[in-house]
A and B are shown apart, each in its own frame.
Chain A
Amino acid sequence: DQQVKQNSPSLSVQEGRISILNCDYTNSMFDYFLWYKKYPAEGPTFLISISSIKDKNEDGRFTVFLNKSAKHLSLHIVPSQPGDSAVYFCAASEETSGSRLTFGEGTQLTVNP
């Protein structure tokens, strides 16, 4: 059963515009959410996270929004840059399970110059 789901396998945006990546989850015990970026042949790189007690966290061009009632989170990248082109994974964890991560399937973001 897929507890974390990214419904869009791919997203294409123009440089300078906003990229919005979406993620849905089903497990209400998740209390921490993360976004990772992955380039080919490399491991995932941590981007930004948010605790379930918050609804927004911002770090430079990256903002994560959490809507607990809808079990939905999103990553906004503004402005998008060609170097942001990568696969983005949403992940969730619950502290009581040792913080192991449950990942979505990923969204391939392409930022066109």
Chain B
Amino acid sequence: DTGVSQDPRHKITKRGQNVTFRCDPISEHNRLYWYRQTLGQGPEFLTYFQNEAQLEKSRLLSDRFSAERPKGSFSTLEIQRTEQGDSAMYLCASSHAGTGKTEAFFGQGTRLTVV
């Protein structure tokens, strides 16, 4: 399977704990995106990487959120001191810049529940 892979699929955590999610993009894709989706809304952009460089962060990404893509392959998204408002589906997507097509392919997401 060469699609976008996310781990874990589900995470339940207590308020105040730290959580980390992993995303493995499609191997030949150089762009990787993180989005967050809450019930009844479309996905909202959080941040994106081109290779290992983090090129943009949304204002939605508070100081408690940090993302890395150390070798330009997989990426991690960490949320520190989780709050109930962080409960959402966290989606990762990848695409290949420079092909003239900008469609991004999504993983199945990580459902975070903060209790």
* B60–chain A nearest beta-carbon distance, Å: 12
| Contact for B108 among A42, A102, A104, CB less than 8 A | A42
| Interface band, chain A | 20 to 34
Q: Check B50 against A98 for contact (C-beta < 8 Å).
A: yes
What number of B residues sit within 8 Å (CB to CB) of A? 29
CB-based contact B42/A98 at 8 Å: no
Given contacts A42-B108, A43-B109, A46-B104, whether A99 and B95 have CB atoms under 8 Å apart is yes
Determine whether the beta carbon of B42 is less than 8 Å from that of A100: no
Residue from B4, B91, B97, B109 within 8 A of A99 (CB atoms): B97
Task: State the B residues within 8 Å of A (CB).
Answer: 4, 6, 31, 33, 35, 40-45, 48, 50, 55-56, 91, 93, 95, 97, 101-109, 111
Q: A41-B111, A44-B91 are in contact. List 11 more A-B contacts (CB 8 A).
A: A36-B106, A43-B6, A43-B91, A46-B104, A95-B102, A99-B104, A100-B56, A101-B33, A101-B104, A104-B42, A106-B40
